[in-house]
Amino acid sequence: MTGFNLSMLLAGQYHEWLLNGLLLSIQLALVTLAFALPLAIVIAVMRISPVAALRGAAMTYVEAVRNVPLLAHMLFWYFGAPEVLPDAAKAWLYEGNVEASSAVVALVLYTAAYMSEDLRSGLRSIPKEQMEASRALGFGFLAAMRLVILPQSLRITVPPLISQTLNLWKNTSIAMVIGVGELMYQAQQVESATFRWHEAFTFATAGYLGISLLITLLSSWYQHAYPVRSS
């Protein structure tokens, strides 16, 4: 076994394994982002709510999630959480792709906790007089948030949210520990089948690096196209 077999990465069975892993990793990231961002917005709004119980619940959630490693979250939602479900629900869950479902739940909850802190910083950066003016015009707290405060804060927090998306993309690799056939899992499968770790992990590295650079370029483009102007 000498030399670097580039043809193995460009065609054939092992190429399909690696490509399918890359596509699944991208799907995991996109599905997670679609659920994590709305959840993060809700949590961020709860963190600055005038209702103390809501603020406490949101803070408890954020601290509980952020202080536990993602690996532990992944293992809990795969091995632990299904065991507390009723038998019928457990059977239905295991009929599908329970590995991917568990990974998405863990990634959503974990990512939302971090994104919510960026969003909360954006909300707090909006002058409080705008909230006071909105309330004076007859808006309730939620209406003022939805129509006045959130649209401004979201523009401010796009760069850090893109950074969190980059972290999310890299975090999809943790799903391999519960058997999700994402990119890193497939790279290990190819290496086990062929003993050609150079080619397998070169493909995986190139895949992670390529998507990471794409996200970084998106962030750079946004900051140049829509610079945040100080008020």
pLDDT tens-digit series, residues 90-147 = 787 788 788 999 999 999 999 999 999 999 998 888 888 888 788 788 888 888 888 8
Q: Do residues 154 and 222 lie in contact, with contact meaning Cβ atoms separated by under 8 Å?
A: no
- Tell me which of 7 and 47 has the higher pLDDT: 47
Residue 2 lies in a domain: no
Residue 28 lies in a domain: yes
The CB-side HSE value for 168 (13 A sphere, CA atoms) comes to: 32
Residue 138 lies in a domain: yes
Residue 135 lies in a domain: yes
- 4-18, 35-49, 121-135, 187-201: which has the minimum mean pLDDT? 4-18
Residue 6 has pLDDT above 70, yes or no: no
Q: Do residues 71 and 60 lie in contact, with contact meaning Cβ atoms separated by under 8 Å?
A: no
Q: Which pLDDT score is estimated for 50?
A: 86
Q: What is the pLDDT of residues 39-91, one digit of tens each?
A: 999 999 999 888 899 999 999 999 999 999 999 999 999 988 888 878 887 78
Residue 231 lies in a domain: no
Please tell me the pTM assigned to this model: 0.87
| 81: Cβ contacts below 8 Å, ≥ 6 apart | 102, 105
Q: Which pLDDT score is estimated for 231?
A: 47
Q: Which pLDDT score is estimated for 11?
A: 64
Compute the distance between CA of residue 181 and CA of residue 18 in angstroms, rounded to an integer.
9
CATH number of the domain encompassing residue 79: 1.10.3720.10
Residue 1 lies in a domain: no
Residue 79 lies in a domain: yes
- Look over the chain and give the mean of its residue pLDDT values, rounded to a whole number: 87
Q: Do residues 114 and 164 lie in contact, with contact meaning Cβ atoms separated by under 8 Å?
A: yes
Q: Which pLDDT score is estimated for 9?
A: 64
> How many residues make up the chain in this entry?
231
- Tell me which of 193 and 28 has the higher pLDDT: 28
Confidence of residue 30 (pLDDT cuts 50, 70, 90): very high
Domains in the chain: how many in total? 1
Residue 230 lies in a domain: no
Domain that holds residue 133: 7-225
Confidence of residue 228 (pLDDT cuts 50, 70, 90): low
Q: How would DSSP label each residue in 50-105?
A: S-HHHHHHHHHHHHHHHTS-HHHHHHIIIIIGGGGS-HHHHHHHHHS-HHHHHHHH
Residue 2 has pLDDT above 60, yes or no: no
Residue 5 has pLDDT above 50, yes or no: yes
Tokens found for residue 189: 């499968």
